[in-house]
Amino acid sequence: MGNKNNDGCYSTPASRKIPANGGVTGSNGAASTSSSSGVDPLLEHSFKHLLTEELGCARPDSAGSCSPPRSLHETFTSDRNDEYWPVEQREQVRTPRLMHTWHCDQSILSLTSTKKWIIAGSGNGDILVFNKETFETEFVLKGHAGSVYSLALTEDERFLFSGSADSLVKVWDLETMEDVWTIYSVYDIGDVFTIAWAPSHEYLFLGAQNASIQWIRLYEKGSYNTTKDPSGLPSIRYDRFFDSKGPGGRITPQQSATATPKKYSGTSALLEIPPKSVIPFAHFSYVYSLLVIKRTITHGSTSIEEEFLVSGGGDGTAKIWNFNTDGTIEQLYTLDTESSVFSMCCQDSFLYCGLSAGQVCIIDLDTRQVIRNDKLGDDDVMTMSLYRECLFRGGNRYVRKWDSKRYHRGEWLAHDGLVLATVLAVSNGRTLLVTGGNDSVVSMWDITATLEHSVSSKDSVLLQSSFNSTNAIMFFNQMTNGQYGIKTKKINEGTDEEVTVAPLTLDHMMETLRSFVSYKTVSGHDDKYMNDCRRCATFLKSVFKHFGADSQLLPLEQGGNPIVYARFSGTGNVDASKRASRILFYGHYDVISAEKNGQWTTDPFEMTNMDGYMYGRGVSDNKGPILAAIFAVAELVQRSELSNDIVFLIEGEEECGSAGFQEAVNRHKALIGDIDWVLLSNSYWLDDETPCLNYGLRGIIKASIEIKGDLPDLHSGVHGGVYREPTFDLVNLLAKLATDQGEIVLPEFHNSVRPVGNQERALYEAIVNRPKRATTTTMTPAGQGSSSEDKDADIETLMGRWRYPSLTIHKITVSGPGNSTLIPQSATASLSLRIVPDQDLEVIKASLTSFLHAQFAKFKSDNHLTVSIYHEAEPWVGDPGNRAFELLRTIIAEEWGTEPLFIREGGSIPAVRFLEKAFCAPAAQLPCGQASDGAHLDNERLRVLNFGKAKEIFLKTFRDLV
Ligand code: BES
Ligand code: MN
């Protein structure tokens, strides 16, 4: 057997996306559309101008001048960084915590939120749907050919409306994520800047660049033109660039020949806005913003809700429109705002108009008077969100908060460009402000703390107050429908009393992981991180205790980081034919070192959430998986569904060979008890798509080889040419370990390797024959679609990584100051051998030592050789057909909707085989993260979705493995 290619254990596939500066790309969609509106092009505050000139940051040519979003995270993810807000009066306001960021391809121009999703409209016409729980980009709705300026929702959150620079409004069914209707106007309206949904009347309004307001009654679509005949579509009847008239007002033949192909490829039904539903010059300028407001009038026990439309224009007015019974609207009155109204919101009969140059004008809708003009910053207020009396306005790079009641104001650096969209959302009992900018980033801020003083129990009453905008009502609906507590029995107090405890949400898991990661638990560095390691062990103990476990620290006899022991006692109640089991979960809280500089785009010890991932040292190896297991048991305890005993052994010396672990476990055998199964989760999927189960690890022998002379370090010019140099002896000796072709020639190295059986080969075949998905990482041997020779080669590669031994020379160091004029006195190589069944650890160790000494003897050198073995671990191969693996397989298939691959790994975890032998209990491993997690590398990460699923898989396993 040749020297196997041992790559890939820790490598990051080339395709892995590191989002450090991924945000600033492309041009804004608005920049590529020109238009034919009938509006005076010299109008003072042009939305167009803003979106083409000021959005310059989003263009490729100026992208270099923008620093990547990373710098923002560095400064503002920390909740220790409290001093930021420049506070006008009294209290300090905390900087909101940045909960998550998503890096998109283009500017974010619009946002909305449902109970489940954050939805963002982008500059390239895509609508991005992010899951609020897992942070995955769950859907990308494609259909618009221009920037999505505006989004709206029906109150039941079933339909999403999008208005775009392509002159269209689309209606998306959020149950199927399909584009069901495409609404267009027979007029050339230019860009649709704003849309609004009036729920009681079922009208969808649009405000456009040609100064018109248009609408359509949606649920009566039968009465409209809903054919798929595309001839009326604006893109087909007229192309704004190619079809515009040349000098003399003629369309030249060349122009029509090069015109964009005129076809409609959409699947949605087309809906034409009837001519009677158009107010051509609603404003003397662009219609920038529309808002539907409600007024509730209560007469005794009956209350009537009235809807009005408010429009804000570039002409410096806001207008209130009434709905007529004949399906038309009529202007009630005009409010003067003196400058362009870019954004609006409404609460308690106050209409807030976001104007140019940082101004917000507040109008009392009852008296129609401007009651206040507030200026904060100098940037045009393109977006606002209002939570009770706190107004958040988007500006250039900043979000500015104004508490209109307490006169608190503050700002925080939120984007690397203009903040163009904001929306309030609720998740896990937190109030969130989601912001989007022309830096192509969507950020989610937890503003709960900044609102504390303004939240009152009056929230439900608020719905009845005189005026509210429908989006505010939707936000409050989200707030009140959320369930923020579950009933459970009190833990460990022997009472049956029902108490309400916080549910163990993914959010709670992430918060705990954030704390866990903040401890710098780098092992093997003696004193430097000892304190962090101890504090982390204590932290873990308190997490265990909090969830009802017995927990204590087990010290190591020779010093080193203690083991955290914990035991959750099950009820023992299982079917008569079965016996409750005692499961040992093994993990390690120590991590590989990580320096903030290097390639890390975030602080490795301050967990940062981006694009559906958590970044930080140890999130995947092994802190995240450990917490998934703890939360799984905690949830079973809370639900009174834990019948098995679960013992946790979480050590702190794994990354440097688990020295002292065996001794400590042997010493505490009685405490740990009779174990039936060993479970762990400290490995990764084979790619980023397919869930896996792991049934094997290689063992390891770590050795250092030193050759030392009797003389001190010498100057090579003065002494060179006289002595046998230790470094020469060392490289010559190392060279004896392999042929010139790299084949390892160590005696006994290959002959005892277990031959490949038929069943084993079948497992490898299943791996290389798996269906290959589009985004599979490049490191992975090819799946379906490659030739049988390719597949044989892939099997060889996998076997080389997992079931054949390997030998690596990690580094060679020399004594002395290391400059290139010296003959070092000594040279040391560190190497490791990964070993496999049925190699005998002792035989291989002896072979290595005696082979090196025998070879060295032949050198007849005056120098001295020392071979020392400082770590060793036996390989582990589990039984993929046993009950634990069978159960895990079923649960994974249930959770992920696809069968797992059974894989082995080339890496080593010294404790596994030892625990199997010590307790006569078979081990099984659930790989938690993906191949691209980058354990031991910079930017280690774990996908939020995998974290949540691992908890679910462990929960069912701990519950059902009897
Ligand atoms: N999680 C790894 C083990 C691992 C590595 C699993 C690669 C799957 C693929 C573990 O934390 C680790 O790093 N082990 C060390 C052990 C050594 C220091 C004794 C290793 O494999 O190098
Ligand atoms: Mn590791």
In ligand 1, the atom with minimum distance to the C-alpha of 702 is 19
Residue 940 sits in a domain whose CATH number is 3.40.630.10
Percent of the chain's residues with pLDDT above 70? 79
- d(CA 597, CA 72) in angstroms, rounded, equals 16
Residues whose CB falls within 8 Å of the CB of residue 498, separated by 6 or more in sequence, listed in order: 487, 488, 489, 490
Same domain flag for 892 and 822: no
Residue 816 sits in a domain whose CATH number is 3.30.70.360
In ligand 1, the atom with minimum distance to the C-alpha of 910 is 19
Where is the domain boundary, 838, 853, 873? 873
Ligand nearest to the CA of 931: 1
How sure is the predictor about 404, in pLDDT bands with cuts at 50, 70 and 90? confident
Domain presence at residue 210? no
- d(CA 293, CA 205) in angstroms, rounded, equals 13
Question: What amino acid is encoded at 846 in this protein?
Answer: A
pLDDT at 365 over 90: no
Say yes or no: CB of residue 6 within 6 Å of ligand 1: no
Average pLDDT over residues 10-15: 35
pLDDT at 50 over 60: no
Same domain flag for 921 and 900: yes
Take atom 5 of ligand 1 and give the residue whose Cα is closest: 907
Say yes or no: CB of residue 907 within 6 Å of ligand 1: yes
Say yes or no: CB of residue 403 within 6 Å of ligand 1: no
Query: How far away, in angstroms, is 313 Cα from ligand 1 center?
Result: 62
Average pLDDT over residues 439-443: 97
Query: How far away, in angstroms, is 196 Cα from ligand 1 center?
Result: 55
Q: What is the pLDDT of residues 811-820, one digit of tens each?
A: 999 999 989 9
Query: How far away, in angstroms, is 656 Cα from ligand 2 center?
Result: 9
Average pLDDT over residues 540-558: 94
pLDDT at 91 over 70: no
What are the structure tokens assigned to 638, written together?
């809370």
Q: Are 112 and 152 in contact (CB under 8 A)?
A: yes
* Average pLDDT of every residue of the chain: 83
Task: Please confirm whether the linkage preceding 21 is cis (ω < 30° from 0).
Answer: no
Ligand nearest to the CA of 698: 1
Say yes or no: CB of residue 654 within 6 Å of ligand 1: yes
Ligand nearest to the CA of 682: 1
pLDDT at 962 over 70: yes
Domain presence at residue 387? no
In ligand 1, the atom with minimum distance to the C-alpha of 655 is 18
Same domain flag for 592 and 706: no
116-147: b (≥16 Cβ within 10 Å) or e: bbbbbbbbbbbbbbbbbebbbbbbebebbbbb
Q: What is the pLDDT of residues 108-127, one digit of tens each?
A: 999 999 999 999 999 999 99
Q: Which of 536, 574, 552, 545 is nearest to 672 (CA)?
A: 552
Residues whose CB falls within 8 Å of the CB of residue 774, separated by 6 or more in sequence, listed in order: none
- Least confident range from 490-499, 648-657, 791-800: namely 490-499
Number of Cβ within a 10 Å radius of residue 354: 26
Same domain flag for 823 and 951: no
The H or E element containing residue 563 is: strand 563-568
What are the structure tokens assigned to 185, written together?
């106007």
Average pLDDT over residues 675-689: 97
Where is the domain boundary, 826, 846, 873? 873
Q: Are 47 and 210 in contact (CB under 8 A)?
A: no
What confidence score (pLDDT) does residue 742 get?
A: 94
In ligand 1, the atom with minimum distance to the C-alpha of 656 is 18
- Position with higher pLDDT, 770 vs 122: 122
What confidence score (pLDDT) does residue 266 get?
A: 64
How sure is the predictor about 497, in pLDDT bands with cuts at 50, 70 and 90? low
Q: Determine the residue of 909, 925, 936 to mutate for testing ligand 1's pocket, defined as the one with the most ligand atoms within 8 A of the Cβ atom.
A: 909
Query: How far away, in angstroms, is 907 Cα from ligand 2 center?
Result: 9
How sure is the predictor about 692, in pLDDT bands with cuts at 50, 70 and 90? very high
Say yes or no: CB of residue 162 within 6 Å of ligand 1: no
Say yes or no: CB of residue 590 within 6 Å of ligand 1: no
As for how many domains the chain has, the answer is: 2
The H or E element containing residue 119 is: strand 117-122
590 in active site = yes
What are the structure tokens assigned to 131, written together?
């899951």
Catalytic residue selected from 403, 590, 725, 794: 590
Radius of gyration of the chain (CA): 33
- d(CA 610, CA 616) in angstroms, rounded, equals 11
pLDDT at 522 over 90: yes
Q: Which of 698, 814, 824 is nearest to 753 (CA)?
A: 698
pLDDT at 14 over 90: no
Domain presence at residue 613? yes
Q: Are 582 and 647 in contact (CB under 8 A)?
A: yes
Q: Which of 216, 112, 54, 932 is nearest to 472 (CA)?
A: 112
What confidence score (pLDDT) does residue 527 get?
A: 83
Domain presence at residue 713? yes
- d(CA 594, CA 470) in angstroms, rounded, equals 49
What confidence score (pLDDT) does residue 318 get?
A: 96
Query: How far away, in angstroms, is 906 Cα from ligand 1 center?
Result: 8
What are the structure tokens assigned to 234, written together?
């604006």
pLDDT at 936 over 80: yes
Domain presence at residue 761? no
Same domain flag for 515 and 569: yes
Alpha-carbon distance values, 794 to 681, 766, 782, 787, 789 (Å): 25, 12, 7, 10, 9
Instruction: Give the residue carrying structure tokens 């020469």.
Output: 728
Average pLDDT over residues 702-727: 95
Q: What is the pLDDT of residues 463-472, one digit of tens each?
A: 344 677 877 7
79 in active site = no
Query: E-strand spans in 629-720?
Result: 645-651, 677-680, 692-697, 699-708, 714-715
Q: Which of 954, 737, 757 is nearest to 833 (CA)?
A: 737
Q: Where are the alpha helices (DSSP H) in 482-638?
A: 506-518, 530-546, 624-638
pLDDT at 778 over 80: no
What confidence score (pLDDT) does residue 56 get?
A: 30
Q: What are phi and psi of 417, to 5 degrees?
A: 160, -160
What confidence score (pLDDT) does residue 235 get?
A: 64
Say yes or no: CB of residue 944 within 6 Å of ligand 1: no
Coil, strand or helix at 214: strand
Task: Please confirm whether the linkage preceding 838 is cis (ω < 30° from 0).
Answer: yes
What confidence score (pLDDT) does residue 619 get?
A: 98
How sure is the predictor about 526, in pLDDT bands with cuts at 50, 70 and 90? confident
pLDDT at 75 over 60: no
Secondary structure letter of residue 17 according to DSSP? -
How sure is the predictor about 62, in pLDDT bands with cuts at 50, 70 and 90? very low
pLDDT at 274 over 80: yes
pLDDT at 554 over 80: yes
Say yes or no: CB of residue 909 within 6 Å of ligand 1: yes
Average pLDDT over residues 384-388: 89
Take atom 15 of ligand 1 and give the residue whose Cα is closest: 908
Same domain flag for 540 and 633: yes
Q: How are beta strands 692-697 and 901-904 bridged, if at all?
A: parallel
How sure is the predictor about 628, in pLDDT bands with cuts at 50, 70 and 90? very high
In ligand 1, the atom with minimum distance to the C-alpha of 935 is 1
Q: Determine the residue of 593, 620, 654, 872 to mutate for testing ligand 1's pocket, defined as the one with the most ligand atoms within 8 A of the Cβ atom.
A: 654
Say yes or no: CB of residue 621 within 6 Å of ligand 1: yes
Query: How far away, in angstroms, is 839 Cα from ligand 1 center?
Result: 19
Alpha-carbon distance values, 938 to 11, 523, 609 (Å): 11, 17, 15
Number of Cβ within a 10 Å radius of residue 214: 27
Take atom 17 of ligand 1 and give the residue whose Cα is closest: 657
Helix, strand and coil content of the chain, in percent to the nearest 5, comes to: 25, 30, 45
CA–CA–CA angle 730, 732, 738 (5° rounding) = 110
Domain presence at residue 831? yes
Say yes or no: CB of residue 940 within 6 Å of ligand 1: no
Average pLDDT over residues 719-741: 96
What confidence score (pLDDT) does residue 364 get?
A: 87
Same domain flag for 675 and 723: no
- d(CA 2, CA 491) in angstroms, rounded, equals 57
Q: Determine the residue of 7, 872, 908 to mutate for testing ligand 1's pocket, defined as the one with the most ligand atoms within 8 A of the Cβ atom.
A: 908
Ligand nearest to the CA of 593: 2
- Least confident range from 25-29, 259-263, 444-448: namely 25-29
Query: How far away, in angstroms, is 299 Cα from ligand 1 center?
Result: 72
Same domain flag for 711 and 680: no
Take atom 10 of ligand 1 and give the residue whose Cα is closest: 909
Same domain flag for 836 and 936: no
Secondary structure letter of residue 432 according to DSSP? E
Q: Where are the alpha helices (DSSP H) in 860-907?
A: 883-896
Coil, strand or helix at 585: strand
Alpha-carbon distance values, 788 to 769, 801, 903 (Å): 10, 20, 20
Say yes or no: CB of residue 653 within 6 Å of ligand 1: no
- Least confident range from 102-111, 300-309, 594-603, 899-908: namely 300-309
Same domain flag for 674 and 614: yes
Domain presence at residue 537? yes
pLDDT at 774 over 80: no
- d(CA 54, CA 417) in angstroms, rounded, equals 9
Domain presence at residue 226? no
- Least confident range from 527-536, 579-588, 701-710: namely 527-536
What confidence score (pLDDT) does residue 471 get?
A: 79
Instruction: Give the residue carrying structure tokens 């917000």.
Output: 360
- Least confident range from 16-30, 738-752, 755-769: namely 16-30
Say yes or no: CB of residue 11 within 6 Å of ligand 1: no
Say yes or no: CB of residue 908 within 6 Å of ligand 1: yes
Q: What is the pLDDT of residues 641-670, one digit of tens each?
A: 999 999 999 999 999 999 999 999 999 999
Q: Which of 148, 131, 56 is nearest to 436 (CA)?
A: 148
Take atom 16 of ligand 1 and give the residue whose Cα is closest: 908
Query: How far away, in angstroms, is 917 Cα from ligand 1 center?
Result: 20
What confidence score (pLDDT) does residue 295 get?
A: 85
Instruction: Give the residue carrying structure tokens 């998503």.
Output: 102
The H or E element containing residue 307 is: strand 302-313
How sure is the predictor about 371, in pLDDT bands with cuts at 50, 70 and 90? confident
Query: How far away, in angstroms, is 937 Cα from ligand 2 center?
Result: 10
Say yes or no: CB of residue 29 within 6 Å of ligand 1: no
Query: How far away, in angstroms, is 622 Cα from ligand 2 center?
Result: 7
pLDDT at 920 over 90: yes
pLDDT at 217 over 80: yes
What are the structure tokens assigned to 537, written together?
């062990």
Say yes or no: CB of residue 683 within 6 Å of ligand 1: yes
- What angle separates helix 944-960 from helix 506-518, to the nearest 10 degrees? 110
Same domain flag for 532 and 554: yes
pLDDT at 257 over 50: no
Catalytic residue selected from 654, 676, 725, 905: 654
Same domain flag for 844 and 955: no
Domain of residue 537: give its range: 506-698+876-960
Q: Where are the alpha helices (DSSP H) in 173-332?
A: 234-237, 253-258
DSSP string, 51-118: HHTGGGGGSHHHHTTSPPTHHHHHHHS-TT-GGG---SSSS--PPPEEEEEEE-SS-EEEEEE-SSEE
Alpha-carbon distance values, 257 to 36, 239, 243, 251 (Å): 21, 12, 10, 11
- Least confident range from 51-60, 143-152, 179-188, 630-639: namely 51-60
Say yes or no: CB of residue 651 within 6 Å of ligand 1: no
Say yes or no: CB of residue 933 within 6 Å of ligand 1: no
Q: Where are the alpha helices (DSSP H) in 493-559?
A: 506-518, 530-546
Where is the domain boundary, 820, 852, 873? 873
- d(CA 121, CA 103) in angstroms, rounded, equals 13
Q: Determine the residue of 521, 523, 682, 932 to mutate for testing ligand 1's pocket, defined as the one with the most ligand atoms within 8 A of the Cβ atom.
A: 682
Ligand nearest to the CA of 625: 1
- d(CA 80, CA 69) in angstroms, rounded, equals 20
What are the structure tokens assigned to 171, written together?
């209606």
In ligand 1, the atom with minimum distance to the C-alpha of 871 is 19
